Structure 1
Amino acid sequence: MRVLLVGDYPPPHGGVAVHVQQLHGYLRERGVETVVLDIGKGGRPAPDVIPVRTPTQYGTRLAGFLREGWTVHVHTSGNNPKSWMLAATAGVRARAPRVITLHSGLLPDYLAASVARRAFARVALAGYSRVVAVSEAVREALARCGVPEEKLVVYPAFCGSQVRPGRVSPEIEAARARRLPLLAMAHHPSPVYGRGLMFRALRMIADELPGVGLAVFGPGTRSEEFLRDAREHRVEELIEDLGELEHSRALALISRCDAFIRPTTHDGDAISVREALALGVPCVASDVCGRPHGTYTFQVGNAVELAERVHHALEQGPAQVVSPDAGPVLLKLYGDLVQPTILGGGETHAAQ
């Protein structure tokens, strides 16, 4: 069996990119010949990762793997036209088995906004043997587009076996030493990530726990907008700004904090939430989507309830959880798809 993963690959360390990286690592550890077509903005050298930066590069590389019968697994958000063009391009007629995972919690609203979008999604997904939705809400949205139920699979984009924190840096240790409790949050400039809400809640928490600090990591933490919001909410002195972290360092930070916060307004199945739970760290997240067992949830947009749930999480501590692992599930799925191809006289390369 040979598997081609198509999607973003770190850096930057977004949810889709991290899942592709972890799935790539899982398959390689089990002896599966695996290559990534990196369509993101990365560029850091990695074994068996091929950066493609133009449509011509992408089309040429993809066509070659399809001709040779590789099982192709596309990973994309599904919440914008570019994402659906990617899905349609990789879904062209070919004998090679194809799978797609649609990751974004924004997908249901995106498809609901237009009949044309739903029609295009149905056509784009027609060439895939299986369509993996990261949540029940995503599955339902795809079913409403007319994607056959027998093609749809619901499974979180998470490889529990690959959650491996890196070395704790001096900056993380310093933040840990300064703050009690130490909270952590993944940041992005998009309002979806709930920065303003987190800052409002942090001000409330600090009024009762003056030693509290919030470690933020990710893009945009040094922007004018970030600094302005911190000043307006009077939390400047409470922020531990760690900038963009390589994924294993981000895991190291989460493992050292007292609680991880996910105050988003939309979500698919957030890898960071599952990572915190897998590391035995209390996690507080908005109720904007189904959250894993053990998550302390609050009403989306409600800063008062967020602050209350953080207090509760700190008092109660982490829950005992069993983390899902998409690696074995997807490996079996690939095998089930490849076997009929072999028996049916398709590309014999797929069996190698």
Structure 2
Amino acid sequence: MSFKTLNLVVVGPLPPPAGGMANQTRQLAELLRSEGARVAVVQTNAAYRPRWAGRLPGVRAAFRLVPYLVGLWHACGQGQLVHLMANSGWSWHLFAVPAIIVARLRGVPVVVNYRGGEAGSFLNGSAGVVRRVMRHVAALVLPSGYLQAVFQGYGMAGEIVPNIIDLERFHPSESPAVGAAPHIVVARNLEQIYGIDVALQAFAQIRRSVPSATLSVAGSGPQLASLQAQAEALGIASG
């Protein structure tokens, strides 16, 4: 299949922050361009303009939503297919639903690429609304069998398209010397959904058996202070 004649619209977040969904959106756009497709990215987390608008609770949503809708309308007017990176909760209502509606008004098919660990609880309260919107999309793709089963349970069939990874960016290092202390790395945004607190508890148990083991948590987010306090309480915080 040739991508060289395709005009695609990719809708989703971009780094920063460097979360999984943002990285997947950026990588998807880059790979499609490398195949020759013309790709327009409509960013759902674009910076507030003017910047001070981000400090106005209750109003700042409008400063992001209006430019987003304008960008959607323009991009869909030139695109042949919309690939929508969708998530749960308010993100679905504020960004996914408008993208589907605008694409329909523009006569452009939409592929919904849904990802979100809280899909079950979200659909438990919003399945009817989601189903009505999903009737207007060309396809639903999901990164795992788990999410496929969740959506199937609410009457929405989807295809599994696993996450992609650019293996050229990673190179194996030399094997560590025998007896070297294990170094565990957790790379996640510091949010409750990712269970970093559980990783800290598990590492505390590892340290009892392997006192020389170390843990690095690479990420930022709202749970930074509470996780630092937990590490102190568990006796695993670095000096």
TM over 0.5: yes
Amino acid aligned to 1:154: I
Contact in 2 for aligned 1:108/1:137 (Cα 8 Å): no
Deviations 1:150-209 (A, max 9, x none): xx21222x223x244379xxxxxxxxxxx7211100243322222222222212212222
> Residue 206 of structure 2 corresponds to which residue in structure 1?
205
Partner amino acid for 1:38? Answer: Q
Return the alpha-carbon distance in structure 2 between the equivalents of residues 221 and 121 of structure 1.
28
SS class of match (1:10): coil
In the superposition, relative to structure 1, how do residues 223 and 139 fare at CA in structure 2: closer, same or farther (>3 Å)? closer
Match of 2:149 in 1: 140
Change (3 A) 1:23 1:42: farther
Q: Identify if the C-alpha distance between structure 1 residues 129 and 183 changes in structure 2 by more than 3 Å, giving closer, same or farther.
A: same
Structure 1 residues 270-285: aligned runs within 5 Å: none
Q: Which residue of 2 aligns with 1:82?
A: 91
- Which TM-score applies when normalising by structure 2? 0.78
Q: Secondary structure at the match of 1:236?
A: coil
Give the CA deviation at 1:100.
Answer: 0.9
What letter corresponds to residue 238 of structure 2 in structure 1?
A: E
Q: For residue 39 of structure 1, what is the aligned residue in structure 2?
A: 44
Matched, 1:101 2:105: no
- The aligned counterpart of 1:194 is 195
Is the 1:182–1:215 Cα contact (8 Å) retained in structure 2? yes
Matched letter for residue 130 of structure 1: A
Q: Deviations over 1:17-72 (max 9, x none)?
A: 011111111111111111211111569xxxxxxxx962221111111222224311
Q: TM-score, normalised by structure 1?
A: 0.55
Does structure 2 conserve the Cα–Cα contact (< 8 Å) formed by 1:187 and 1:220? Answer: no
Cα distance in structure 1, aligned partners of 2:73 and 2:89? 24
On the 8 A contact 2:201/2:234 being kept in 1, the answer is yes
Counterpart for residue 263 of structure 1: none
Q: Per the alignment, do residues 18 and 108 of structure 1 end up closer, same or farther by CA in structure 2, a change over 3 Å counting?
A: same
Does 1:91 pair with 2:96? no
| Alignment partners' CA distance in 1, 2:216 and 2:8 | 37
* 1:249-271 alpha-carbon deviations (Å, 9 max, x no partner): xxxxxxxxxxxxxxxxxxxxxxx
Whether the 8 Å contact between 1:72 and 1:99 is mirrored in structure 2 is yes
1:251-296 deviations in Å (ceiling 9; x for gaps): xxxxxxxxxxxxxxxxxxxxxxxxxxxxxxxxxxxxxxxxxxxxxx
Runs (5+) with no aligned partner, structure 1: 44-51, 168-178, 239-352
Larger RCO (alpha carbons 8 Å, 6+ apart): 1
Share of identical aligned residues, percent?
A: 20
Displacement of 1:141 in angstroms is 3.0
Match of 2:35 in 1: 30
Out of 64, 80, 84, the position equivalent to 1:54 is 64
Change (3 A) 1:182 1:134: same
Residue 141 and residue 187 in structure 1: after superposition, are their counterparts in 2 closer, same or farther (change >3 A)?
closer
Secondary structure class of the residue paired with 2:67: helix
What is the distance in 1 between the residues matched to 2:31 and 2:182?
34
Runs of 4+ in structure 1 over 4 Å off: none
Pair 1:59–1:8, CA change in 2 (3 A): same
Matched, 1:2 2:11: no
Task: Give the structure 2 partner of residue 154 of structure 1.
Answer: 160
13 and 42 in structure 1: CA distance in 2 versus 1, 3 angstrom threshold: farther
Post-superposition offset of 1:84 = 3.3
Q: 1:122 aligns with which of 116, 131, 134?
A: 131
Determine the C-alpha separation between the residues in 1 that align with 2:94 and 2:44: 13
Distance 2:155 2:200 in 1: 41
Name the amino acid aligned to 1:217.
Answer: A
3-state secondary structure, aligned to 1:237: coil
